[in-house]
Structure 1
Amino acid sequence: MIIQREPLLNPVAVKDLRPTQITVGMREVALKRQMIRTQSARKTGTFLGRHMVPVVLGPKKRNYVTDHHHLARALLEEGIKDVFVTVTSDLSALDKDAFFVVLDNRGWMHPFDETGRRRDYGAIPKTMAELVDDPYRSMAGELRRQGGFAKDTTPFSEFLWADFLRRRIDPDVVAKNFDKAMKEALTLAKDKDADYLPGWCGPTSD
């Protein structure tokens, strides 16, 4: 099968984009919404030209997003109707069941809910508007911005960090005092217990 990596010349409606995960961090979405809102339309257009949304073509030629879910949700909420996409693979010849199996095995989907529990493929929303908030995914994004770990090419690496934090930081603390939770997260991120995670940059004995 030939892999197409050229951007589509025609824009795709944001409302028609299909997620490949169940959750996003709504704080992350809010940050992207703020960025869009505070810059000019021209600057936003330039930004979107450089950050095209990667998709896999699935059954019925639908566009399944494999990255930039937070951006897509932010665009939707800010009323931006269209976005350019980059097709990384055309799997439109597969039936739905086979398609999801291929996505899963290639690491192009993340069927885990806001509690960190793996769900059936059917639990993945059909639209960006239906994505569920995972506060720990927001923590992971903020943790990376604060230098808690390095950006990494591992698919869904922030979700691995989110799961790590979910097992160690009380959800009530995250909900009621996000800054306090982040201080705890920064300490945990440097611990040896986190050295298996992508982008870990804690102290070493070398």
Structure 2
Amino acid sequence: MTAKPNLIPVDLNDLRPTQITVGGAEVATKRAQWTQLKRKERERTLEAHWFPAVRGPGGRHYIVDHHHLGRALHEESVRRVWVMQLDDLSEVEGEQFWRLMEFHRWAHPFDEKGRRRAFSAIPQSVSKLRDDPYRSLAGFVRKAGGYAKDAAPYAEFLWADHFRPLVPLKKLQPSATEVLPQAAIDKAVALARLPAARCLPGWSGVSGSPAPVAATV
């Protein structure tokens, strides 16, 4: 790896997650994209997709984004990646560290059923991230135009929780040809555009409220 200003080369296995789950179908898609790249293209991809991270206890880097990419690169046996350090909280320990991380919206301790868990449930390696099929669904729906990308952290997790009671889990099972069934994506896109989802980040549907009537004088 060539040295780059403000970027730190780190062993992928040393990165620490700040969430419990990823969408397995999204990870599979990123793996498929990676396998199509030639060596130079892979190097450029790693340089362009660095991991934003906070230096935490023990000097470890806790990544606050790109968990899906991290898991995909791990599955593809990539060893070294680039990190952009956002802050240094290495002098803070235990619960206080995680409370600070959550305060800054750098941690999301919710499991694959949308339940809040103790910070200790967050895995210590990207290889241990759990699969939440609804997180995959949320990502595929956004890519299909069901809602707009939003700058708010963890927006896709809010959408995943919205779809959780509306789309049966059995409808999200992969097949030999689809990592996530298109029928489930189409249904969720329609659900995302309904007024019931209007409070979610990036909603781009049509409100059920009547158009305002111009006042007469």
Q: Distance in 2 between matches of 1:75 and 1:172?
A: 28
**Secondary structure in structure 1 of the residue aligned to 2:62:** strand
Q: Is 1:23 equivalent to 2:29 in the alignment?
A: no
* 2:185 match: 182
Aligned alpha-carbon RMSD (Å):
1.5
Unaligned runs of 5+ in 2: 175-179, 213-217
Q: Give the one of 185, 195, 200 matched to 2:198.
A: 195
Q: Which amino acid aligns with 1:59?
A: P
The aligned length equals: 200
Q: Which amino acid aligns with 1:64?
A: Y
Q: Which amino acid aligns with 2:67?
A: H
Q: Distance in 2 between matches of 1:41 and 1:198?
A: 37
Q: What is the CA distance between 1:117 and its match in structure 2?
A: 0.4
Instruction: State which structure, 1 or 2, has the greater radius of gyration over its C-alpha atoms.
Output: 2
* 2:115 match: 117
Q: Distance in 1 between matches of 2:78 and 2:171?
A: 34
Q: Distance in 2 between matches of 1:190 and 1:92?
A: 43
Q: Which runs of 4+ in 1 moved over 6 A?
A: none
* 1:76 match: 74
Q: Distance in 2 between matches of 1:166 and 1:105?
A: 26
Deviations 1:25-72 (A, max 9, x none): 011001111111111111111111111101011011101010000001
Q: What is the CA distance between 1:187 and its match in structure 2?
A: 0.8
Deviates more, 1:173-182 or 1:54-63: 173-182
Unaligned runs of 5+ in 1: none
Q: TM-score, normalised by structure 2?
A: 0.88
* 1:161 match: 159
* 1:7 match: 7
Matches within 5 A, 1:143-162: 143-162=141-160
**Secondary structure in structure 2 of the residue aligned to 1:55:** strand
Q: Distance in 2 between matches of 1:96 and 1:87?
A: 20
**Secondary structure in structure 2 of the residue aligned to 1:30:** helix
Q: Distance in 2 between matches of 1:197 and 1:7?
A: 34
Which structure dedicates a bigger proportion of its chain to helix? Answer: 1
Q: Distance in 2 between matches of 1:125 and 1:32?
A: 21
